[in-house]
Chains A and B, each alone.
Chain A
Amino acid sequence: MQNPSDYVSIGIFALIVGGLGIVIVTLGALFRPKNPYAEKLTPYESGMPQIGSAQQRYTVRYYLVAMLFVVFDIEAVFLYPWAVAFNALGWFGLVEMFLFIALLLVGYAYAWRKGALDWIS
């Protein structure tokens, strides 16, 4: 910041914008017809009656699916560079990768056994 007075114009601009907004909203509130009643205040649902409330609880099942997706997505992410560097890594890389997949398989079997893959249970 070279000179604080450079920012005075921005301050004036902000004041005018804020003031104009307040004036317009206030004038509108004073002059417009105001006639609220229960049907008018209902949320717009394309004219259909509302069913339930917007604050209702919903299933967390998708959370499980998302977690499983992350696990297997990371597996895929690791598999690609491994496949690219396969020749350089040699036998060590192959064994390491199969160990990694075996660990994930244990997790997969656990999730399956626990019923995380059944959508309805």
Chain B
Amino acid sequence: MLLGPALAVSALLFTLGVAGVLLRRNAIVIFMCVELMLNAVNLTFVALAQRVGVAGHVFVFFVMAVAAAEAAVGLAIILAVFRHRETVDLKNIDLLKG
């Protein structure tokens, strides 16, 4: 059934995604780490679909649609910010920082 190994790999991938978001300052790489987290959750859905029914596969669909929308809007925001500040390093993007 492979449920245990799949959940283990999924937990590791999600954790690495969180670590990447905390570790990096490049906005595009942070975005890729968010995609990594979404992929880890997809693996959980697919693994549990074997035990709980095919609805898990349907939810992977919805996650993929959200990921595509998020990538399109997020990358457009990064483009707009880059046009103003000439950088994607979050250290230099601190307009709302107190």
Decide whether A and B are members of one complex. Answer: no
Chain A interface (Cβ < 8 Å from any Cβ of B): none
